């Protein structure tokens, strides 16, 4: 399998993890895949919650209902009277040219996969728009072309549980920039996973979206990814604390906690990421509600792994 992953791709991983064999390299690669797979559904839940919150807030603002086509071009009634008039008007919410292109592309995608008689709805478009659309949209809420007070009205509706709103009120540039910075960091992580890029060097970021440590050792990667997940769930709580609570009670959350552990990486390295490795990691972890009890399967392998940890994490 290694020959199909290209030397350039593998050399980055081998240098970072200081792998000593083909099996060791495969184990590190498989661990990064497992972590990425564990993070993706959690990122998806946060993204879906965010876009639905923004869509709902703008729909109620412009259309006084939960789902309204604030982003969609509108038929121009003047065109029926005067054919020289444009057939369509811009969306009721002012969008940048790039964002309008995103909407048109989303509409075309929906039409391409639906029956010809299907009428594209705002919900169809929202489900198809890229993550970056929402980041750009929030960043432009205070543009001079927008109605006065729009930023405060929308961001207060989207993030009713945001912290520090006395120091950073909803109508402030600081609040808007903080949201955009955090969204950019989350999008970068999502894109790295989606493009099968290196997740072991994802930089840390603080709760203002400011970049920090770039991991240079495997143990730093484990710690940095744990911090990243914590920040992701903390940010989701701005929308509704119930979202964070739901995510923390999920199997995805628990299995990711098991994977983001030095022992889990050591297990993958010893087992070369082969079939049964993930199960061994889960069996070696402490499930919720089991106190300090640990599963007994694979005791011999786990004993070896514990001896390996010092060697792997220098």
Task: Give residue for tokens 């990122």.
Answer: 43
Could you tell me the two tokens for 183? 């969204």
Q: Is 42 left (phi over 0), alpha (psi -120 to 50) or beta?
A: alpha
Please give the model's pTM, rounded to 2 decimal places.
Answer: 0.88
Give the separation between CA 277 and CA 103, rounded to whole angstroms: 43
Give the separation between CA 96 and CA 199, rounded to whole angstroms: 32
Q: Which residues, other chains included, contact 182 with Cβ-Cβ below 8 Å and sequence gap of 6+? A: 205, 207, 208, 209, 231, 235
Per the document, the length of the chain is: 314
199 φ, ψ to 5°? -95, -10
Q: Is 64 left (phi over 0), alpha (psi -120 to 50) or beta?
A: left
CA 15 to chain CA mean position, Å: 27
Helix, strand or coil for residue 88? strand
What count of Cα atoms within 13 Å lies in the side-chain half-sphere of residue 154? Answer: 27
Report how far apart, in Å, the C-alpha atoms of 120 and of each of 50, 51, 95 are.
Answer: 21, 18, 19
Instruction: Render each residue's pLDDT in the chain as its tens digit; 314 residues.
Output: 777 777 878 899 999 999 999 999 999 999 999 999 999 999 999 999 999 999 999 999 999 999 999 999 998 988 888 888 888 899 999 999 999 999 999 999 999 999 999 999 999 999 999 999 999 999 999 999 999 999 999 999 999 999 999 999 999 999 999 999 999 999 999 999 999 999 999 999 999 999 999 999 999 999 999 999 999 999 999 999 999 999 999 999 999 999 999 999 999 999 999 999 999 999 888 655 544 444 444 555 555 655 565 566 55
Give the separation between CA 43 and CA 37, rounded to whole angstroms: 10
- Residue 89 DSSP symbol: E
Helix, strand or coil for residue 258? helix
The pLDDT of residue 163: 96
The pLDDT of residue 266: 93
b/e per residue, 262-291, with b = 16+ CB within 10 A? Answer: bbbbbbbbbbbbeeebbebbbbbbeeeeee
The pLDDT of residue 284: 85
- Residue 205 DSSP symbol: B
Task: Give residue for tokens 């490795």.
Answer: 277
- Residue 86 DSSP symbol: -
How wide is the angle at C-alpha 17 spanned by C-alphas 283 and 258, nearest 5°? 20
Give the separation between CA 23 and CA 271, rounded to whole angstroms: 8
């Amino acid at each position: 399998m290694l020959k199909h992953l290209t030397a350039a791709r593998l050399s980055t991983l081998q240098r970072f993890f200081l792998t000593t064999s083909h099996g060791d390299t495969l184990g590190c690669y498989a661990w990064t895949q497992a972590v990425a797979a564990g993070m993706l559904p959690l990122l998806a839940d946060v993204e879906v919650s965010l876009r639905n919150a923004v869509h709902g807030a703008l729909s109620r603002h412009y259309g006084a209902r939960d789902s309204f086509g604030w982003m969609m071009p509108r038929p121009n009634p003047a065109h029926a009277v005067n054919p020289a008039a444009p057939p369509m008007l811009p969306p009721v919410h002012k969008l940048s040219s790039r964002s309008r292109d995103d909407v048109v592309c989303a509409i075309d995608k929906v039409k391409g996969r639906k029956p010809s008689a299907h009428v594209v709805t705002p919900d169809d478009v929202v489900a198809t728009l890229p993550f970056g659309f929402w980041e750009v949209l929030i960043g432009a809420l205070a543009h001079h072309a927008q109605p006065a007070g729009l930023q405060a009205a929308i961001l207060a509706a989207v993030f009713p549980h945001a912290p520090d709103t006395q120091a950073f009120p909803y109508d402030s540039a600081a609040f808007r920039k903080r949201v955009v910075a955090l969204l950019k960091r989350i999008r970068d992580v999502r894109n790295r996973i989606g493009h099968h890029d290196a997740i072991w060097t994802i930089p840390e970021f603080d709760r203002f979206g400011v970049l920090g440590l770039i991991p240079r050792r495997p143990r730093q990667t484990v710690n940095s990814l744990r911090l990243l997940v914590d920040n992701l769930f903390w940010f989701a709580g701005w929308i509704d604390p119930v979202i964070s609570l739901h995510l923390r009670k999920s199997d995805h959350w628990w299995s990711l906690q098991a994977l983001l552990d030095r022992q889990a990486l050591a297990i993958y390295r010893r087992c070369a990421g082969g079939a049964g490795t993930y199960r061994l990691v889960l069996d070696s972890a402490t499930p919720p509600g089991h106190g300090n009890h640990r599963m007994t399967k694979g005791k011999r392998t786990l004993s070896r792994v514990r001896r390996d940890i010092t060697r792997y994490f220098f």
